[in-house]
């Protein structure tokens, strides 16, 4: 990578930092996972590492110099990436490239994995999500996650959606709770199909309906970001199309990060695409450009189905 | 990236793409021959030869239809991305250009087969000479454009654009020759008009060659330069990378073939680093 590009990138990443009103938001915060005595995170993006523009104006979430280790294995290497408002960013790459691992950093799912260590800085609206004071349950409400296999609770359809608002105290009475459940199911495009059977178990629904129920459950607690880890890989094409249509609609209200094995799906649903390879973030760019004219050979090899 | 050296994981995909490229080049060869024979028939006053060109026109159209069908099928079956997508778009565009070159050959052949019987001798001699000169330029351009397509070399675009300017100059000189003949014998104006159409056909072939060379720039670099002027293409020619792209699989290095200035700089920094 040449120096001109490196400089350009430095300029780009310094801009959002300058915008921070109090100066220390996102800076000098100590991730709970960081070892004592480890150097403070460098909040600047790393010039020359990733091809394309890793930053966006006014991001919801920013990652800088994120590393993930599973014991000795270095699973994510120095990744800088912003997630923008009202847009879908797709993370693609071959198996084991780190895309899911990276996604799981964004709502601290990796905390639950024995031997996993995360370094670097990840900020949500300018605040470090790995801060010791950060309530992880609260974080996971703000940064929701939808998984590959639909995983409704073994409860009624109603309770699946109502559970989150209840524990987060979002409804003061039954009427408000009913309203949240109804709105969430409507937004997830499921209301018409389930309004007459809300008391039936969530597991009685079809796979695609279960996945939309999980999305409704995520929406019910007013997240800012919805993360989706292969949300359609267990679904048939029609259920997949419904979810993709839903993603496009949800984009009006939320930022969405989606990990997918299907390049066609990434091309269909996202505005930005990030290509991971062996733990490195290789290239980030507008989806239209990534799929027609990628700049890195590894990206090209992957999206065209060549050996890479 | 200036090469597609590595194959797809699905090998049938490579076979399909290679077959399409070969068909395009075959069509190019046929079209080149059509123009050549049509001009020879015109210059030699050989109506039988001209009719052979007209008879072969359906073969050109068949290529047009078949390549388009195969391209659509390939898009539907394989959902091409990146350079594969650009190859298909470039092939589609190049085929459209070749098909029109075939039409121009047909027009020249039709003139050679039918219309030059009452043409005044001096005008015919001038037309034959001018057509031969123009066709020599136009055919060389077309051959080089197809060759650039085959080698995926975007540098030919600038050179072919410059030669198109030469061809245009020849065209205007040839027009003047026809006009002066018409002024000597206004009763034969109809024949002159027909001759002008022949010259115009040859001039158009140069435009199509230029178009094909520009599709190669899109194919290799993803830049649409169909409406750029020659100066832009010249910048591209000077900065074109010497070798192929690196394929050592090391992540931090982007491939070649974007903005000219970038390429030059990247080349420098690479040398400095080693």
What are the pLDDT digits (tens) for A173-191?
999 999 999 999 999 999 9
Q: How far apart are the first and last CA of chain B?
A: 21
- Tell me the per-residue pLDDT of B22-81, one tens digit each, with 9 for 90 and over: 999 999 999 999 999 999 999 988 999 999 999 999 999 999 999 999 999 999 999 999
pLDDT category of residue B236 using cuts at 50, 70 and 90: low
pLDDT at B115: 60
In A, which residues are within 8 Å of B9 by CB distance? 305-307
CATH class of A3-303: alpha beta
Interchain CB distance below 8 Å, B9 and A293: no
Candidates B79, B222, B262; nearest CB to A292? B222
d(CA A2, CA A219): 43
- Select the more confidently predicted residue: B229 or A217: A217
Sequential DSSP letters for A129-193: TTBTT--HHHHHHHEEEE-SS----SSBHHHHHHHHHHHTT--SSHHHHHHHHHHHHHHTT-HHH
d(CA A259, CA B131): 61
Contact B23, B91 (CB under 8 A): no
Interchain CB distance below 8 Å, B252 and A1: yes
Strand ranges across the sheet with A73-83: A73-83, A61-70, A116-124, A127-128
What backbone torsions phi and psi does residue A70 show, to the nearest 5 degrees?
-105, 95
Q: What is the mean pLDDT of chain A?
A: 86
Contact B172, B209 (CB under 8 A): no
Interchain CB distance below 8 Å, B258 and A307: no
Structural domains of chain B ordered from first start: 11-240+257-273 (1.20.58.220)
The mean-pLDDT minimum among A3-7, A64-68, B33-37 falls in A3-7
The burial of A132, by beta-carbon neighbours within 10 Å (0-12 exposed, 13-18 middle, 19 or more buried), is given as exposed
pLDDT category of residue A308 using cuts at 50, 70 and 90: low
Bridge partners of A274, per DSSP, are A91, A284
Alpha helices, DSSP H only, in B111-188?
A: 121-151, 156-184
Contact A108, A130 (CB under 8 A): yes
Residue B102 has pLDDT above 50, yes or no: yes
Closest chain A CA to residue B86: A292
State the DSSP code for A224: S
d(CA A19, CA A253): 23
Interchain CB distance below 8 Å, A293 and B86: yes
pLDDT category of residue B252 using cuts at 50, 70 and 90: very low
- Tell me the per-residue pLDDT of B190-217, one tens digit each, with 9 for 90 and over: 888 889 999 999 999 999 999 999 999 9
Bridge partners of A111, per DSSP, are none
- Select the more confidently predicted residue: A35 or B181: B181
As for the ipTM of the complex, it is 0.73
Contact B254, A295 (CB under 8 A): yes
């Amino acid at each position: 990578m040449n120096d001109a590009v490196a400089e350009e990138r430095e300029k780009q990443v310094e801009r959002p930092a300058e915008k921070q009103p109090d100066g220390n938001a996102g800076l000098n915060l100590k991730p709970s996972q960081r070892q004592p005595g480890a150097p403070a995170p460098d909040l600047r993006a790393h010039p020359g590492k990733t091809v394309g523009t890793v930053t966006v104006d006014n991001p919801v979430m920013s990652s800088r110099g994120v590393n993930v280790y599973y014991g000795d294995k270095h699973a994510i290497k120095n990744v800088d990436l912003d997630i923008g408002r009202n847009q879908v960013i797709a993370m693609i790459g071959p198996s084991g490239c780190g895309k899911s691992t990276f996604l799981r950093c964004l709502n601290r799912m990796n905390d639950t994995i024995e031997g996993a260590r995360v370094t670097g800085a990840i900020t949500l609206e300018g605040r470090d999500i790995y801060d010791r004071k950060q309530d992880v349950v609260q974080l996971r409400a703000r940064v929701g996650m939808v998984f590959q296999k639909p995983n409704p609770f073994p409860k009624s359809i109603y309770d699946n959606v109502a559970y989150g608002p209840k524990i987060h105290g979002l409804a003061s009475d039954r009427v408000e709770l009913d309203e949240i459940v109804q709105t969430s199911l409507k937004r997830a495009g499921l209301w018409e199909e389930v309004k007459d059977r809300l008391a039936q178990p969530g597991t009685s629904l079809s796979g695609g309906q279960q996945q939309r129920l999980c999305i409704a459950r995520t929406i019910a607690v007013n997240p800012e970001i919805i993360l989706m880890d292969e949300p359609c890989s267990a679904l048939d094409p029609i259920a997949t199309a419904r979810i993709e249509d839903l993603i496009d609609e949800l984009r009006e209200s939320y930022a969405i990060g989606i990990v997918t094995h299907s390049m066609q799906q990434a091309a269909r649903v996202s505005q930005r695409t990030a290509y991971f390879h062996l733990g490195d973030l290789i290239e980030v760019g507008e989806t239209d450009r990534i799929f027609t004219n990628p700049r890195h050979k590894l990206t090209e090899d992957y999206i065209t189905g060549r050996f890479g | 990236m200036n090469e597609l050296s590595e194959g797809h994981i699905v090998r049938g995909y490579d076979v399909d793409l290679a077959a399409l490229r070969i068909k395009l080049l075959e069509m190019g060869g046929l079209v080149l021959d059509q123009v050549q024979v049509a001009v020879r028939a015109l210059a030699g006053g050989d109506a039988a030869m001209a009719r052979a060109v007209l008879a072969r026109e359906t073969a050109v159209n068949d290529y047009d239809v078949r390549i388009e069908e195969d391209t659509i099928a390939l898009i539907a079956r394989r959902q091409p991305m990146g350079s594969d997508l650009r190859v298909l778009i470039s092939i589609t565009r190049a085929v459209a250009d070749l098909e029109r070159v075939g039409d121009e050959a047909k027009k020249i052949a039709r003139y050679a087969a039918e219309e030059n019987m009452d043409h005044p001798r001096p005008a015919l001699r001038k037309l034959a000479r001018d057509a031969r000169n123009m066709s020599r330029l136009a055919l060389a351009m077309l051959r080089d454009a197809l060759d650039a397509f085959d080698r995926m070399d975007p540098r030919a675009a600038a050179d072919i654009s410059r030669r198109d300017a030469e061809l245009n100059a020849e065209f205007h000189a040839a027009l003047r020759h026809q006009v002066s003949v018409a002024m000597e014998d206004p009763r034969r104006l109809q024949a002159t008009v027909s001759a002008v159409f022949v010259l115009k056909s040859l001039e158009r072939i140069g435009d199509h060659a230029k178009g094909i060379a520009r599709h190669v720039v899109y194919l290799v670099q993803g830049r649409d330069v169909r409406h750029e002027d020659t100066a832009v293409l010249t910048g591209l020619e000077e900065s074109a990378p010497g070798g192929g792209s690196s394929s050592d699989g090391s992540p931090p290095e982007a491939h070649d073939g974007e903005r000219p200035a970038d390429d030059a700089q990247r080349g420098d920094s690479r040398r400095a680093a080693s």
